[in-house]
Chain A
Amino acid sequence: MTKDITAEQIWDFLEDVKDPEVPVLTVVDLGVVREVNKQKNGRWQILITPTYSGCPAMQVIEEDIKERLQKEELEVDVKLVLSPAWTTDWLSEEGKRKLEEYGIAPPQDEVDKSVLFGDKTIVPCPLCKSKNTKMVSQFGSTACKAHYKCNDCLEPFDYFKCLK
């Protein structure tokens, strides 16, 4: 437990922990790991923040982080923080690339959701890259996704929607 280890190494270990709902992303790509700190008592503390309030993956993520670091014989405290609130801006560029490869359209710059009747966001199809796509529903298979359809290749696809 008092092994000489740096915060950078811990961040590296955390790259092995996947988002249970979108397993192509690591918890670091997703931006849910906010801080890695050494506490006064010598234990490491990992701060994580939920994507959505009701996200059922948070408990699993907490367990997986502890399990991964136990392999390094590290006992850590994982703390859930709400502020500042998670945003899709924290998704890494690497994460966005992996999402698209996996068949999920990454978040696009969008108009503010509170503006009713605003312009529709163009979400390119992750499969054929066509911009001729249509939103089927703002709500999809998990809290973080919307459901789209491509008008050209006709495939349905998930869109990792913006949260700002």
Chain B
Amino acid sequence: MTKQEALFEYLLRRADDTLILGHRLSEWCGHGPILEEDIALTNLALDLVGQATELYQYAAKVEDKGRDEDDLAFLRLEREYKNVLLVEQTNGDFGKTIVRQFLFDHFQILLYERLMESKDEQIAAIAAKSIKEVKYHLKHSSEWVIRLGDGTEESHNRVQESVTDLSRFIDELFYQDEVDELLIKEGVACDTSEFRSTYDANIKAVLDEATLSLPKEKWQLDGGRKGIHSEHLGYLLAELQYVQRTHPGMEW
């Protein structure tokens, strides 16, 4: 694997995480539990899709095969998407959407903090831009985890169920292989194992406050980084890609 191939793959993984989660959040448009949250979730979606655009633009440039950010976002097959399984999980109730966001935001902030120091100037610039947005996301998701967890019996039980359900996908956030190894050596990527304990402590502090807990058993799933997804991604892509597949090259 060349450095160029590794960099392209690394950027796709980052971009796909934000695009797929952004798309999931956009599904809440018009369906939020209250107007303010409808607006909040779509604002998060906009930030994430914006970050994905910056990452795909750079990925397309690195690949240098004449594809642009729209080709990468809309015209790949399911197995070519490299996002983690967490972000493609269905919205469920509002609490589940919040827990999914909470687990992701706490990872992203630690990742971007380090990528701001990347030797790759464009990655550093995207990270420095995105982290400002992620700070708002993280505050929003963390405060809701506390409000729902330490809320009514009903909200506590439902959000605890989502924590238990989605905790299976935490380890995969930290997944690394030869792509990361090559780029860590070059000072482009960061070693996620270096901030795993910080992540665990940060989410535990919020979960404690929320009277919630992670399950004891550590059964974990992965596959997303190699394109092996849960059944949910196909349906999501069918909707995401519909317009470009039906009317190729359409713009508005």
Contact = CB atoms under 8 A, between A and B. Distances in A.
Interface of A: 50, 52-56, 82-87, 112-114, 116, 136-141, 143, 147, 163-164
| SS of A interface (majority) | loop
A137 B40 contact: yes
A50 B109 CA distance: 20
B135 A141 contact: no
A83 to B, nearest CB: 4
A58 B48 CA distance: 16
Contacts of B53: 53-54
B136 interface: yes
Contact of A138 (B54, B109, B140, B206): B140
Interface in B34-83: 36-37, 39-40, 43-44, 46-51, 53-54
Nearest to A146: B136
B54 A53 contact: yes
Given A53-B51, A83-B124, A113 B136 contact: yes
B119 interface: no
A84 B128 contact: yes
Given A53-B51, A53-B54, A138 B136 contact: yes
A9 B121 CA distance: 32
Contact of A82 (B49, B109, B129): B129
Nearest to A161: B136
A11 to B, nearest CB: 24
A14 B43 CA distance: 29
B128 A85 contact: yes
User: Which of B47, B49, B138 has most A Cβ within 10 Å?
Assistant: B47
A112 B124 CA distance: 20
Contacts of A84: 128
5 contacts: A53-B54, A54-B47, A85-B128, A137-B36, A164-B132
Contact of A116 (B124, B126, B130, B142): B142
A85 B50 contact: no
A116 B50 contact: no
A113 B135 contact: yes
B133 interface: yes
Given A54-B48, A116-B143, A136 B54 contact: no
